[in-house]
Amino acid sequence: MPRLLLATNNPGKLSEFERLLAGCGWDVVTTAQLNLTLPDDEPGETYEENAKIKALNGARASSLVTLADDSGLEIDAMDGGPGARSARFLGADASYEERFARILGEMAELPSEKRWARFRCVIALAEPGSEEVRLCEDEVRGLIAFEPRGEQGFGYDPIFYLPEQARTMAELPSYMKDVISHRGRATARVRPLLKELLYERERRADTADRPASQAG
């Protein structure tokens, strides 16, 4: 079974992707399992740029097909912020409790109908030896809660309220979050691409194994 590298150092993302990619036809491996250290910065200005950079870095370092994502929280009342800088909001060393406090403080006077937000996720797939990157993305809409709730998720999950579930993302069990979340939805779009890559690899291998007289 071919190996697929997850190019992330985020333990929450690793846990989610390992569930979301179960049975995809690839042997999912992590940078830690390969003793790889990848750059942890996100120099791009968009989710697409950051996801591409991370996927290409992983493919170059590992010589494996690599999956990477970039995701963030976009709040309407903050003009779409913190957006692609969500993981660096208030600085890379800020805690999520500090980030929650800033966001909730700025939105303290806003009623529910003015608290709309969305989680966005862009996933990139990169092949070694190629600069071509395949992209998939999706999102989920919700509201900024009035206070953090829930212990199940990570990142901004405790302040992202889903009206149809009457719970925050952090209050959902993992099997529900995997279906509803932006990352779950984006990964569902990636799985057919992974199948296509498997088919392409098998076809190339079959061609390479044929005698020269049968090729073509």
**167 three-state secondary structure:** strand
Within a domain: 216: no
Within a domain: 214: no
- Give the model's confidence band at 159: pLDDT under 50 very low, under 70 low, under 90 confident, else very high: very high
Q: Are 58 and 122 in contact (CB under 8 A)?
A: no
Residues 99-109: what's their mean pLDDT?
98
Catalytic residues: 70
CATH number at residue 61: 3.90.950.10
Q: Which domain holds residue 169?
A: 3-209
Element housing 174 (H / E): helix 174-180
Within a domain: 90: yes
Beta-bridge partners for 3:
27
Q: What is the DSSP letter of 163?
A: T
Within a domain: 147: yes
- For residue 197, count other CB atoms closer than 10 A to its CB: 18
- Is the pLDDT assigned to residue 212 strictly greater than 80? no
- Give the model's confidence band at 157: pLDDT under 50 very low, under 70 low, under 90 confident, else very high: very high
Convert the pLDDT of each residue in 180-190 to its tens digit: 999 999 999 99
Pick 201 or 214 by higher pLDDT. Answer: 201
Convert the pLDDT of each residue in 52-83 to its tens digit: 999 999 999 999 999 999 999 999 999 999 99
Domain count, the chain: 1
Within a domain: 215: no
SS3 of 97-141: the string is HHHHHHHHHHCCCCCHHHCEEEEEEEEEEECCCCCCEEEEEEEEE
DSSP-derived pairing of the beta strands 65-75 and 3-6: parallel
- Is the pLDDT assigned to residue 207 strictly greater than 80? no
